Structure 1
Amino acid sequence: MLIMPTNQYTCKNCEKSFDVTYKFCPYCGQKSKDELTLGILFSNTISNYFSVDARFFKSFIPLMTRPGYLAKRFLEGKRLLYLHPAQMYLFISVVLFFLFSFIANKQATLFDASIKKDFERAKVVMDSMYQKPLDSVQFKKYMAPYIKNNEDLELTNAEIKSLDSIIKTSSSSKRSYNFAGFNQTEVDSLLRVGASDQVIYKHMGLDDDAGYLKRKFYEQFLKFYKYKSGGSILKRFYDTIPIAMFFLLPIFALLLKLMYFRKGAYAYHLVFSFYFFAYLFTVFSILVACNFIWSNFPVWITVLTMLSTFIYLFIGLKRFYEQGWFISFVKSNVIVLSFFTILIPITLFLAFFAFLYY
């Protein structure tokens, strides 16, 4: 009868036995006798993080200085030496949107202040248009009903100024001007008396049989007009960007597939896209950090840096797909123009969505 040696330890993870002198299970790699403590918990978390981080730093310099290099090495089979393309993209995107959240809050505050100032300025302009001093022709027009037998009135300057003030007050109380297609004076009056939103919607021109989208638009526009706050819209727009990027990156890879349809399967082009977007997000992260630290960060540096990303793409395509410089330049232009043709309507849709659901 076979007797199991007593110096064996059973792994709690894979439930296989091995010699008690082993510190790790030879079958699954889990540490033997790994009792869970706070120290074990956080040491594992930190070690796992830095195992990714170490490969990230090993991949960072090639990513920033050698366009197309990491994607080419990955397809050649060198997949453990450098960080996985999808993992690198996700890691850098988390860093970018974390940094961007600080800028977004600052921009939202500035945007609110700017909108309120614009509304106040517009009100001053409109009020001044309705309270201009009366000229002689306007004065005679207003005084005509009070003059009998076309007799001229002998008035002092003080009396003329007094009459002018009375006429302006009377006319300004009747003034009415439109804003964004609705009567602003009426809406302001309804807001002052505490009218319900449904009543205000009718005065703004909303039909009783209007559909959901139109009603939602009026609802959001009235909210915007009440509080003069656009920062919430801007923050909602920024919140949609990470989600949009998960759709834009596969679209970019599809454009690569169309331009290089003989160069491999779709996954082949997706690898290049992951690394290229990781590069873009790294550049954006640096720019966001610079703008956050230095409020007057030179615009020309930002512009030149953004233009350099096209040069990076051009060189990356040339090296990755191994085609000539001229054909790579032409294809990179076509890809960028096509991508922006898709990006612009998506951006407009996201802005409209942000307005409807902020």
Structure 2
Amino acid sequence: MEIKEINCQNCEQPFEEGFKFCPNCGQKTNEELTIGVLFYNTISNYLSFDAKFLRSFAPLMFRPGYLARAFVEGKRSQYLHPGNMYLFVSVIFFFLFSFLVNDWSKDANDLNKKIAEADVVENSEAQRKRDSINNQIVLNALKQNQNLIGMSDEELARTDSIMRSQKLGGLKTSWGFNKSKVDSLVAIGASEDVIFKEMGMSEDAGYFERQIYKGSLDIAKGSGFGNIIKRMFDAVPIAMFILLPLFALLLKLFYFRRGRYSYHLVFSFYFFSFLFMVFAMLLGVDLVFEEFPGWISWLIVLSTFFYFYMALLHFYKRHWFTTLLKSGVITFIFLLTMIPTAFGVLFVFGLANA
């Protein structure tokens, strides 16, 4: 009897007719694309993900090291994959963190605007009178010592004219360029090259020099501080994707014989997911309850160090005292290397987003 074969519509591998599911990829052999099928697949995939997250949430928060240990031991269908867990929790964290960044950016721009406007606002009447008196004192001193310092009548008259015509309370010299002229160029819509040239940028300026002048121009406009904060925020996820593998590498160095690098990476994914979840909950509480006690937040943050110790203890199953020492040293080294690494990434990618 001849066996009739058909090809799977998904993987195109042949199989015997009569199978309800492809033995190679698992797709149904006769499933027409209807509205019901479309929404059933969408909802079932979402509910499957949602159920795994809910099953994984309690162990992640209250059983340090358990999920990582279960995953490396082969229990990989019951709980959410470490990579998916990290991505899901980090999206929640950065979504909530964006509200805080917007507030920081607004406050920074308000401060920046006050600083920028303060450089062009004239002084009070009392300040102008004091400046006028001080100028007159200087002129009188010059006249009394004119012969001693060798100043001619023409030079003295020119100095007198300059000091009397000077716009008191005008531009400060802290900008390093003529801010009034730069403001005029911005107002008429001049190109950045023209404005940067007026600010003093060299003719053969490279990328980084241009970015520095661009940042200075933003500050002069009153929006530079907020832009800097937003650029740094945009670079934080990239910095974390670099720091997480470095953290796993650090674990590998301290637990060299306790598994492949991938094992330590699994631990790192779950541990950073825990950190993001804690910080996300703190941000959520802070957004809802403005008067939430700060000491409680700091206590929760400090408890993450204890969580890290317990997670190492349960995952690597080493002596408690050895684990305590290693957790302290790993934390110290990571924080020591995290700061320059994070700032380097923030600087490079922050400028790239400028």
In the superposition, the TM-score normalised over structure 2's length comes to 0.80
| Structure 2 residue aligned with 1:99 | 96
| Structure 1 residue aligned with 2:226 | 231
Q: Return the alpha-carbon distance in structure 2 between the equivalents of residues 64 and 339 of structure 1.
A: 22
Q: Return the alpha-carbon distance in structure 1 between the equivalents of residues 9 and 205 of structure 2.
A: 64
Letter in 2 for 1:191: D
| Structure 1 residue aligned with 2:272 | 277
Question: Relative to 1, partners in 2 of residues 1:121 and 1:293: Cα closer, same or farther, differing over 3 Å?
Answer: farther
| Structure 1 residue aligned with 2:114 | 117
Q: What runs of 5+ residues in structure 1 fail to find an aligned partner?
A: 148-165
| Structure 1 residue aligned with 2:246 | 251
Q: Return the alpha-carbon distance in structure 2 between the equivalents of residues 138 and 130 of structure 1.
A: 12
Q: 1:157-176 residue pairs with structure 2 within 5 A?
A: 170-173=165-168
Check if 1:357 corresponds to 2:353: yes
Q: Return the alpha-carbon distance in structure 1 between the equivalents of residues 251 and 340 of structure 2.
A: 20
| 2:44 corresponds to which of 33, 44, 47 | 47
Contact 1:104–1:235, Cα closer than 8 Å, also in 2: yes
Contact 1:59–1:70, Cα closer than 8 Å, also in 2: yes
Offset at residue 82 of structure 1 (A): 1.7
Question: Relative to 1, partners in 2 of residues 1:347 and 1:123: Cα closer, same or farther, differing over 3 Å?
Answer: farther
Q: 1:306-325 residue pairs with structure 2 within 5 A?
A: 306-325=301-320
2:259 partner SS: coil
Deviation string, structure 1 residues 159-213 (Cα, Å, up to 9, x no partner)? xxxxxxx999744349653225x14xx2223422656644543454433344332
| Structure 2 residue aligned with 1:16 | 15
| 1:187 corresponds to which of 165, 171, 179 | 179
Offset at residue 127 of structure 1 (A): 3.9
Check if 1:265 corresponds to 2:291: no
Contact 1:237–1:350, Cα closer than 8 Å, also in 2: no
Offset at residue 135 of structure 1 (A): 8.7
Offset at residue 334 of structure 1 (A): 1.5
| 1:216 corresponds to which of 195, 203, 211 | 211
2:130 partner SS: coil
Q: 1:140-155 residue pairs with structure 2 within 5 A?
A: 141-142=138-139
Question: Relative to 1, partners in 2 of residues 1:198 and 1:48: Cα closer, same or farther, differing over 3 Å?
Answer: closer
Offset at residue 224 of structure 1 (A): 3.1
Question: Relative to 1, partners in 2 of residues 1:350 and 1:60: Cα closer, same or farther, differing over 3 Å?
Answer: same
Once the two structures are overlaid, the 10-residue window that deviates more, 232-241 or 196-205, is: 196-205
Runs of 4+ in structure 1 deviating by more than 6 angstroms, as ranges, are 143-147, 166-169
1:114 partner SS: helix
Once the two structures are overlaid, the 10-residue window that deviates more, 135-144 or 60-69, is: 135-144
| 1:339 corresponds to which of 319, 334, 338 | 334
Q: Return the alpha-carbon distance in structure 1 between the equivalents of residues 297 and 353 of structure 2.
A: 31
Question: Relative to 1, partners in 2 of residues 1:258 and 1:237: Cα closer, same or farther, differing over 3 Å?
Answer: same
Q: Return the alpha-carbon distance in structure 2 between the equivalents of residues 296 and 355 of structure 1.
A: 36
Q: Return the alpha-carbon distance in structure 1 between the equivalents of residues 273 and 326 of structure 2.
A: 21
Q: Return the alpha-carbon distance in structure 2 between the equivalents of residues 225 and 355 of structure 1.
A: 18
Contact 1:314–1:329, Cα closer than 8 Å, also in 2: yes
Once the two structures are overlaid, the 10-residue window that deviates more, 115-124 or 136-145, is: 136-145
Question: Relative to 1, partners in 2 of residues 1:178 and 1:334: Cα closer, same or farther, differing over 3 Å?
Answer: farther
1:297 partner SS: coil
Offset at residue 269 of structure 1 (A): 0.9
Q: Return the alpha-carbon distance in structure 2 between the equivalents of residues 140 and 91 of structure 1.
A: 70
Q: Return the alpha-carbon distance in structure 2 between the equivalents of residues 356 and 102 of structure 1.
A: 23
| 1:60 corresponds to which of 57, 62, 72 | 57
Letter in 2 for 1:40: V
Question: Relative to 1, partners in 2 of residues 1:169 and 1:59: Cα closer, same or farther, differing over 3 Å?
Answer: farther
Q: What runs of 5+ residues in structure 2 fail to find an aligned partner?
A: 145-160
Question: Relative to 1, partners in 2 of residues 1:111 and 1:355: Cα closer, same or farther, differing over 3 Å?
Answer: farther
Q: Return the alpha-carbon distance in structure 1 between the equivalents of residues 259 and 214 of structure 2.
A: 50
Question: Relative to 1, partners in 2 of residues 1:10 and 1:171: Cα closer, same or farther, differing over 3 Å?
Answer: closer
| Structure 2 residue aligned with 1:152 | none
Q: Return the alpha-carbon distance in structure 2 between the equivalents of residues 134 and 28 of structure 1.
A: 85
Once the two structures are overlaid, the 10-residue window that deviates more, 260-269 or 170-179, is: 170-179
Letter in 1 for 2:340: P
Offset at residue 332 of structure 1 (A): 1.2
Question: Relative to 1, partners in 2 of residues 1:3 and 1:261: Cα closer, same or farther, differing over 3 Å?
Answer: closer
Aligned length: 331
Q: Return the alpha-carbon distance in structure 2 between the equivalents of residues 136 and 112 of structure 1.
A: 36
The two structures, once aligned, show a CA RMSD in angstroms of: 3.4
Q: Return the alpha-carbon distance in structure 1 between the equivalents of residues 202 and 88 of structure 2.
A: 49
Question: Relative to 1, partners in 2 of residues 1:119 and 1:216: Cα closer, same or farther, differing over 3 Å?
Answer: closer
